[in-house]
């Protein structure tokens, strides 16, 4: 049996008729940009995310960029960011002229370590961008307390963790303005690019609504130099159908993770995901670690099992950030994670047989003994 890294079929097949009807409705109503579908999706997503306002935008990167722009980040402002995130978090800071200041993650949860935050704060620091990596909520209590103490804003990167919670609060509802992504493979995925900002702050929401639409609130009157970054009506219509199923799909991801945990718990040298007290995990990705990662990946490929590496190169080691002149070894936890992490197949609708087969293949892997 071939097992792909990701299959949409169990999610998409049962709702095909419903999605096609939603698409046909947009087609027939002939209102394709910022119409009733976007408005309704924004209201429904706000209810889901426990915020007053959702602003639908073109993608997750724009959501983070517009949030930082609305908060008034200026050239030279420092923004604290995880050393082990997807590069989008850093790029959003760079777009507004800010300086990404990396902080290492906790070595077990892979999320920003609150203990290390204060040492990274300088007089130029303006904000903190926690990333709920792989689907696990960050320690938002301690992070928000440190931000308050130092007069900093928080912008959560919630691209991977829709619906995860920290002590009962939904991620994407803690920060001043937070970005999420509906890239197809995310837990709530559109049929193309899409994203949103979530916020409890009405004034900030108005700024971001203006920025996403040419800096205009009233057609052909432009208050600020804005962007064209709007969520499409078609994507909003699809997302409305899918949002209703997200809690069930999340439960399925968590059940798959529990099965993996049962099957893989006693394999020597294999590190499984750990969830912190207070946090929930919605398993956007199921990431294991092995000192023999590349050989394990090759072994699984040979067995017909799809895997990916999230992420092979941390942002500070990317060519795009060569100008920061950060030497290798500066962020050892991020570099260790990049060298050892492997994402196993994970999607709602994976069966017990799928999980058992992946686990059997992982168990059968024998790293070549290194001569002493
Ligand atoms: C996917 C992702 C983004 C960017 O979202 P896009 O919709 O692809 O622009 C940002 N941050 C993280 C952590 C992501 O995983």
Q: Compute the average pLDDT of residues 29-33.
A: 98
Count Cβ atoms below 10 Å from residue 138 Cβ, excluding itself: 33
Q: Compute the average pLDDT of residues 225-234.
A: 98
Question: Which has the closest alpha carbon to 64: 149, 159, 147?
Answer: 159
Residues in the chain: 372
The rounded Å distance from CA 86 to ligand 1 centre is 7
Number of H helices, E strands in the chain: 13, 13
The verdict on the CB of residue 130 being under 6 Å from ligand 1 is: no
Count Cβ atoms below 10 Å from residue 110 Cβ, excluding itself: 25
Q: Is the pLDDT of residue 338 over 60?
A: yes
Which residues are registered as beta bridge partners of 297? none
The verdict on the CB of residue 90 being under 6 Å from ligand 1 is: no
92 Cα nearest atom in ligand 1: 10
The answer to whether 347 and 7 have CB atoms below 8 angstroms apart is yes
194 Cα nearest atom in ligand 1: 7
Q: Distance between CA atoms of 260 and 238, rounded to whole angstroms?
A: 31
pLDDT at 370: 53
Q: Is the pLDDT of residue 372 over 80?
A: no
- The chain-wide mean pLDDT, for the chain, equals 97
Q: Cite the DSSP H helix spans in the chain.
A: 9-12, 16-29, 36-49, 60-70, 88-95, 117-120, 140-150, 202-212, 233-243, 246-264, 293-302, 332-340, 352-364
The verdict on the CB of residue 315 being under 6 Å from ligand 1 is: no
Residue having the nearest C-alpha atom to atom 10 of ligand 1: 88
Angle at 136 between CA 158 and CA 89, to 5 degrees: 35
Q: 319: helix, coil or strand? A: helix
Q: 143: helix, coil or strand? A: helix
Q: Is the pLDDT of residue 38 over 60?
A: yes
pLDDT range class, residue 1, cuts 50, 70, 90: confident
Query: Which pTM was predicted?
Result: 0.97
**147-181: per-residue pLDDT in tens?**
999 999 999 999 999 999 999 999 999 999 999 99
The verdict on the CB of residue 131 being under 6 Å from ligand 1 is: yes
pLDDT at 371: 56
Q: Compute the average pLDDT of residues 235-252.
A: 98
Instruction: Calculate helix-pair angle for 352-364, 293-302, nearest 10 degrees.
Output: 120
| Token pair of 68 as six digits | 């930082």
């Amino acid at each position: 049996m071939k097992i792909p890294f990701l299959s949409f079929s169990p999610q998409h097949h049962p709702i095909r008729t419903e999605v096609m009807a939603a698409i046909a409705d947009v087609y027939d109503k002939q209102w394709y940009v910022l119409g009733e579908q976007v408005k309704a999706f924004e209201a429904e997503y706000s209810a889901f995310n426990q915020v007053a306002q959702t602003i639908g935008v073109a993608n997750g990167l724009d959501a983070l960029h517009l949030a930082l722009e609305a908060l008034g980040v200026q050239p030279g402002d420092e923004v604290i960011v995880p050393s082990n995130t997807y590069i989008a978090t850093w790029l959003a800071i760079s777009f507004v002229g800010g300086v990404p200041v990396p902080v290492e993650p906790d070595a077990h949860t892979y999320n920003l370590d609150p203990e290390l935050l204060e040492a990274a704060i300088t007089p130029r620091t303006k904000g903190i961008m926690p990333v709920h990596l792989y689907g696990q909520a960050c320690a938002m209590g301690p992070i928000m307390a440190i931000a308050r103490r130092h007069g900093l804003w928080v912008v959560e990167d919630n691209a991977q963790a829709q619906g995860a919670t920290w002590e009962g609060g939904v991620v994407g509802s803690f920060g001043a303005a937070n970005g999420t992504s509906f890239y197809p493979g995310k837990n709530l995925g559109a049929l193309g690019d899409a994203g949103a900002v979530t916020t409890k702050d009405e004034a900030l929401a108005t700024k971001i609504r203006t920025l996403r639409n040419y800096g205009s609130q009233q057609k052909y009157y432009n208050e600020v130099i804005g962007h064209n970054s709007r969520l499409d009506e078609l994507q909003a219509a699809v997302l409305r159908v899918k949002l209703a199923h997200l809690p069930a799909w999340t439960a399925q991801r968590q059940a798959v993770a529990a099965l993996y945990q049962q099957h893989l718990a006693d394999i020597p040298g294999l590190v499984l995901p750990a969830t912190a007290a207070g946090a929930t995990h919605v398993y956007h990705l199921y990431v294991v670690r092995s000192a023999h990662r590349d050989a394990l990946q090759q072994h699984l490929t040979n067995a017909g099992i799809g895997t990916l590496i999230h992420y092979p190169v941390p942002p500070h080691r990317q060519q795009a950030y060569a100008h920061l002149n950060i030497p290798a070894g500066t962020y050892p936890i991020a570099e260790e994670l990049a060298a050892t992490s492997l994402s196993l197949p994970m999607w709602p609708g994976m069966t017990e047989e799928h999980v058992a087969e992946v686990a059997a293949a992982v168990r059968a892997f024998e790293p070549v003994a290194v001569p002493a």
